[in-house]
Amino acid sequence: MNAPERPRPAPALAAAPLVTLQGTGVRFGDKQALQPLQLTLSRGQRLALIGANGSGKTTLLRLLHGLLAPAGGTRQVHPLQPEGRAPRMAMLFQRPFMLNLSVRANVRLALWLAGVAKADRVERCEQALRRVGLQAEARRAAGTLSGGQQQRLALARAWALQPDVLFLDEPTASLDPGAKREVEALVADLGSDGITVVMSTHNLGQAKRLATHVAYLEGGRLLALADTDTFFHAPLPPEATAFVRGENPWL
Amino acid sequence: MSESLLLALQLITQADAQLLGIVALSLRVSITACLVGALAGLLLGAWLAVARFPGHGALVWAVNTLLALPSVVVGLAVYLLLSRSGPLGSWGLLFTPTAMVVAQSILVVPLIAALSRRLVADALASGGDELRSLGAGPVMAALLMLVHQRLAVVTVLLTAFGRAVAEVGAVMIVGGNIAGVTRVMTTAIALETSKGDLPLALALGLVLLGVVGLIHGLIGLLPGQQGREAAMGGALA
Amino acid sequence: MVVTRPTRLMRRALLALALLCAAGAQAQDRFIVMASTTSTEQSGLFGHLLPAFKAATGIDVRVVAVGTGQALDTARRGDADVLFVHDTVAEEKFVVDGWSVKRQNVMYNDFVLVGPKADPAQARGNDIAAALKKLAATGAPFVSRGDKSGTHAAELRLWKAAGVDLAAARPAGYKECGCGMGPALNMGSSTGGYVLTDRGTWLSFKNRGDLVILVEGDKTLFNQYGVLVVNPARHPHVKAALAQQFADWVVSPAGQASINGYKIGGEQLFFANAGR
């Protein structure tokens, strides 16, 4: 196993912008799902999007990824420095969708769709499965895995693509506590590799544990955005404070 | 009825060469038609599940309406096409098994397309976004869903086979029910009925059902058919 | 893309099957297509006659058996090489219209009127015109093929000769099924109706119920068969030479003997009369 190590970004460039949203929103037909907002995602950040259900966290996540088209304003993706190419994005959905194939086949498929050459596909698939601890299950039908295992498989599938930015849509919302811990540990691990992470969650403890920055959304509006320390300790807009208190009354 | 049952058993055990020939031809024609129809129908169905263009709704409506295409109408249309006096007459296909395959393929394409469109669309509703985020274009996503739903696709093809092997209107007209050349089970049944030999006609019908039943039984035994069914009871949304 | 082994195997098997099916299609060249009628085929004559022809010439005859009207249409379209039907008037028109060069007599069989044994209309006898008049008068059920076949054409002529105008005053029990001889007999058998049928079909018909022959032997029940080769001038692709061999053989002593030799239950169905 002599695969090259992923290059880590030099600390001095860690704050380089990756995706900038300027006055963009999202519309679904007549409904304005996300009000025009301003947000810059920087390299190396681990951004948590928090808010109640229906607040627009998933929409903002998908907008940042590019899965949704912006309405008005601009969404700009900046090339990576020093690599000089566009950042690769990978997304994890709340309930991961796996094709009715083996665990291994699902990862290899993603690599194939990404245009990776055959020999590399095999290699990177095995590496990814090892990373998330699913190598033993490689031949099992993906549908027979437990919830936590499926989410880990989704992580393997995403990580195999060597993404620069990983988007996670409520990754542990439907998992039991044990599985939740496993997945969180993996996400933290991947984050420490230098991958930029954007994660939507309504679990504030998770946000506190994993994120470097936190954004609060309510009713499709971005109401607060700060680094984690500031968010949880400095004064915030009243709605945000109410949400935080509501979720964690002991704060 | 019991006379027919006995007669059917007799026919099967005696395995008369003529009967075997008729059964073999029925299977050859209908299986080929289903394979051809599968190619066209699955691609059409997958494409319809993802394509968006003005008139898309009309095309879906047309495919659904053609589900009710009477086999005798298809037979007539293909006859007019393949007749020597028709546009494709020079191909000399009329009254041959090839013409029968053509007619039955046309008959099953709407069925396969309509059903596969539905199952691809349903699958895309759960996983389409995710496949898209992995970089799959709409058509690729549709084709992947056919793979994902392959057991359901097999059922669709078996349904199409059932329709093809049981129809008599199309093969009668374009095949001509020529003894030893284009006589299949259904046209043989029609012939015996019109000759007034009803017990034999019914017996042939039972033989037909028996042959189709045997095929379905064999497919059910294929490796992985039962195992996968159990596994699919899992968390796939 | 990863594909499991059983799937790959199945794919190869299906491909092989498809190729096999496609290959099995076209046979050898020495065959002709003959358009004939359902009643002739159902009489079983071809099972007796055609093997003899093949033994003599090596030519296969593929019979497409439909109603006379459809048979003539098939030949007109050039989808058949030779015609073997029993509607002299239509056949002569076929020649006049240029679709065939010559029409030849081959054989005849006769029509009979079958009906319920109890014979409510009292049609029994050997005078078909009288019988039909009685059917019209009593309104007894009568099943007509109504399918433009040779039998249907003969039936219409017989009604006309009996002085019954079907168009003006259809008899009360007259029903048209638009079907072949067998289905018409089926209907007659199950509804106690009278049916005009050719003797050949009747002799091999198995679902008689309580139908019996009530009228036979009348000269006007005579059913003449003719053979016609489709004109290659109108349809160049027609296998005129092979088809002509069939026409020549069937009117030759060998062919005529074969026709006379065909019997069901010891009874001769068809009477060769070529050249007469």
Place of tokens 């007796």: C48
Question: If you measure CA to CA, which chain A residue comes closest to C2?
Answer: A105
A90 residue type, one letter: A
Subunit partners of chain B (3 or more CB pairs within 8 A): A, C
pLDDT score recorded for residue A16? 85
- Residue A28 pairs in a beta bridge with A31
Subunit partners of chain A (3 or more CB pairs within 8 A): B, C
Place of tokens 């219409």: C156
Q: Domain for residue C65, yes or no?
A: yes
Bridge-based pairing state of the strands A89-92 and A165-169: parallel
Integer CA distances (angstroms), A78 to A59, A60, A141, A190, C246, in order? 21, 18, 39, 22, 85
Distance CA A170, CA A174 (A): 8
Rounded mean pLDDT, B26-47: 97
pLDDT score recorded for residue C42? 84
Higher pLDDT, C14 or C199: C199
Judging contacts by C-beta atoms under 8 Å, the chain A residues touching residue B141 are: none
- Residue C82 pairs in a beta bridge with C34, C229
CA angle B20, B21, B24 (to 5 degrees): 85
Judging contacts by C-beta atoms under 8 Å, the chain B residues touching residue C14 are: 35
Rg, Å, chain A Cα set: 18
Q: Is the peptide bond before A82 cis (omega within 30 degrees of 0)?
A: yes
Question: If you measure CA to CA, which chain B residue comes closest to C180?
Answer: B194
User: Most C CBs within 10 Å: which of B27, B81, B91, B194, as the mutation test of the C interface?
Assistant: B194
- Ranking A232-246, B105-119, B216-230, C250-264 by mean pLDDT, the lowest is B216-230
pLDDT score recorded for residue B127? 92
Q: Do C237 and B176 count as a contact with CB atoms less than 8 A apart?
A: no
**What b-and-e string marks burial along A201-237, b requiring 16 or more CB atoms within 10 Å of the CB?**
bbbbebbbebbbbbbbbbebbbbbbbebeebbeeebe
- B125 interfaces chain A, CB cutoff of 8 Å: no
Residues C124 and C87 in one domain: no
Q: Which spans in A54-164 are helix H? A: 57-65, 103-113, 118-132, 147-160
Q: Domain for residue C243, yes or no?
A: yes
Of B132, B232, B234, the CB nearest to A67: B132
User: Most B CBs within 10 Å: which of A100, A111, A146, A149, as the mutation test of the B interface?
Assistant: A100
Query: Average pLDDT over chain C, rounded to whole?
Result: 88
Integer CA distances (angstroms), C221 to C27, C108, C109, C111, in order? 41, 10, 9, 5
Bridge-based pairing state of the strands C60-66 and C174-176: unpaired
**Shortest Cα distance, chain C CAs vs residue A36, angstroms:** 42
The two tokens of residue B67 are: 């589900």
pLDDT score recorded for residue C24? 44
Q: Do B194 and C38 count as a contact with CB atoms less than 8 A apart?
A: yes
pLDDT score recorded for residue A13? 41
Is the per-residue pLDDT at C22 higher than 80?
no
pLDDT score recorded for residue B17? 85
Distance CA B108, CA B164 (A): 7
Most confident of A162-176, B110-124, C260-274: B110-124
Is the per-residue pLDDT at A251 higher than 50?
no
Nearest partner of A156 among A129, A137, A180, A136, judged by Cα = A129
Distance CA C104, CA B37 (A): 46
- Ranking A99-103, A120-124, C45-49, C219-223 by mean pLDDT, the lowest is C219-223
B85 three-class SS: coil
Distance CA A59, CA A67 (A): 9
Of C4, C14, C33, the CB nearest to B35: C14
Query: What residue segments make up the domains of chain B, in order of their start?
Result: 2-10+20-214
Is the per-residue pLDDT at B124 higher than 90?
yes
> Which of 3.30.70.920, 3.40.1280.30, 3.40.50.300, 3.40.640.10 is the CATH number of A18-88+167-251?
3.40.50.300
Is the per-residue pLDDT at B24 higher than 50?
yes
Q: How confident is the model at residue A10 (pLDDT cuts 50, 70, 90)?
A: very low
Q: How confident is the model at residue A248 (pLDDT cuts 50, 70, 90)?
A: low
Judging contacts by C-beta atoms under 8 Å, the chain B residues touching residue C180 are: 194
- Ranking A130-139, A184-193, B46-55, B184-193 by mean pLDDT, the lowest is A184-193
pLDDT score recorded for residue A247? 65
Q: How confident is the model at residue C3 (pLDDT cuts 50, 70, 90)?
A: very low
Distance CA A216, CA A223 (A): 6
pLDDT score recorded for residue C185? 93
Nearest partner of B18 among B188, B173, B171, judged by Cα = B188
Query: Average pLDDT over chain B, rounded to whole?
Result: 90
What angle do helix axes C253-260 and C240-251 make, rounded to 10 degrees? 60
In angstroms, how far is CA A162 from the centroid of its own chain? Answer: 13
SS (H, E, C) chain C: CCCCHHHHHHHHHHHHHHHHHHHCCCCCCCEEEEEEEHHHHHCCHHHHHHHHHHHHHCCEEEEEEECHHHHHHHHHCCCCCEEEECCHHHHHHHHHCCCEEEEEEEEEEEEEEEEECCCCCCCCECCHHHHHHHHHHHCCCEEECCCCCHHHHHHHHHHHHCCCCCCCCCCCCEEECCCCHHHHHHHHHHHCCEEEEEHHHHHHCCCCCCEEEEECCCHHHEEEEEEEEECCCCCCCCCHHHHHHHHHHHHCHHHHHHHHCCEECCEECCEECCCC
Bridge-based pairing state of the strands C82-85 and C174-176: unpaired
Rounded mean pLDDT, A184-191: 89
Is the per-residue pLDDT at C20 higher than 60?
no
Integer CA distances (angstroms), B58 to B65, B133, B193, in order? 10, 30, 41
pLDDT in tens, C115-151: 999 999 999 998 999 999 999 999 999 999 998 877 8
C118 residue type, one letter: A
CATH 1.10.3720.10 fits B2-10+20-214, yes or no: yes
Residues C246 and C151 in one domain: no
The two tokens of residue C157 are: 């002529």
Q: Domain for residue C16, yes or no?
A: no
Q: Domain for residue C17, yes or no?
A: no
Contact by Cβ (8 Å): C77, C125 = no
Total number of domains in chain C: 2
Distance CA B179, CA C38 (A): 13
pLDDT score recorded for residue C17? 57
**Shortest Cα distance, chain C CAs vs residue B237, angstroms:** 22
Is the per-residue pLDDT at C11 higher than 70?
no
Is the per-residue pLDDT at A249 higher than 60?
no
Integer CA distances (angstroms), A82 to A85, A120, B196, C81, in order? 8, 24, 88, 81
Query: What residue segments make up the domains of chain A, in order of their start?
Result: 18-88+167-251, 95-162
- C4 interfaces chain A, CB cutoff of 8 Å: yes
Distance CA C61, CA C82 (A): 10
Contact by Cβ (8 Å): A99, A119 = no
Q: Do C4 and A102 count as a contact with CB atoms less than 8 A apart?
A: yes
Q: Do B130 and A99 count as a contact with CB atoms less than 8 A apart?
A: no
- Residue A102 pairs in a beta bridge with A141
Distance CA A71, CA C85 (A): 77
Distance CA C263, CA C266 (A): 5
Is the per-residue pLDDT at C263 higher than 60?
yes
Distance CA B33, CA B106 (A): 8
Q: Phi and psi at residue B52, in whole multiples of 5°?
A: -130, 110
B225 three-class SS: helix
Subunit partners of chain C (3 or more CB pairs within 8 A): A, B
- B138 interfaces chain A, CB cutoff of 8 Å: no
- Check residue A145 and report its DSSP letter: S
Rounded mean pLDDT, A216-225: 90
Of C46, C78, C180, the CB nearest to B85: C78
User: Most B CBs within 10 Å: which of C77, C190, C235, as the mutation test of the B interface?
Assistant: C77
C13: buried, middle or exposed (CB in 10 Å: 19+, 13-18, 0-12)? exposed
**Shortest Cα distance, chain C CAs vs residue B94, angstroms:** 7
Distance CA C204, CA C37 (A): 15
Is the per-residue pLDDT at C254 higher than 90?
yes
Q: Do B98 and C42 count as a contact with CB atoms less than 8 A apart?
A: no
- C186 interfaces chain B, CB cutoff of 8 Å: yes
User: In terms of residues, how long is chain B?
Assistant: 237
Q: Domain for residue C13, yes or no?
A: no
- Ranking A27-41, B38-52, B116-130 by mean pLDDT, the lowest is A27-41
Rounded mean pLDDT, A143-159: 92
Q: How confident is the model at residue B30 (pLDDT cuts 50, 70, 90)?
A: very high
Q: Do A100 and B127 count as a contact with CB atoms less than 8 A apart?
A: no
Q: Do A102 and C1 count as a contact with CB atoms less than 8 A apart?
A: no
pLDDT score recorded for residue B234? 41
Q: Do C181 and B224 count as a contact with CB atoms less than 8 A apart?
A: no
Integer CA distances (angstroms), A221 to A43, C76, C222, in order? 24, 78, 97
In angstroms, how far is CA A45 from the centroid of its own chain? Answer: 11
Judging contacts by C-beta atoms under 8 Å, the chain C residues touching residue B92 are: 237
pLDDT score recorded for residue C12? 67
Contact by Cβ (8 Å): B128, B119 = no
Nearest partner of C31 among B204, A24, B95, A49, judged by Cα = B95
**Shortest Cα distance, chain B CAs vs residue C276, angstroms:** 31
Is the per-residue pLDDT at B1 higher than 90?
no
Rounded mean pLDDT, B49-56: 93
pLDDT score recorded for residue A193? 84
**Shortest Cα distance, chain C CAs vs residue A106, angstroms:** 9
Query: Average pLDDT over chain A, rounded to whole?
Result: 87
Domain of C84 in residue numbering reads as: 31-108+224-272
- C174 interfaces chain B, CB cutoff of 8 Å: no
Is the per-residue pLDDT at A136 higher than 70?
yes
What angle do helix axes B185-194 and B17-50 make, rounded to 10 degrees? 120
Residues C235 and C211 in one domain: no
pLDDT score recorded for residue B231? 44
Q: Residue C151: give its domain's CATH number.
A: 3.40.190.10
- B181 interfaces chain A, CB cutoff of 8 Å: no
Percent of chain C with pLDDT over 70: 89
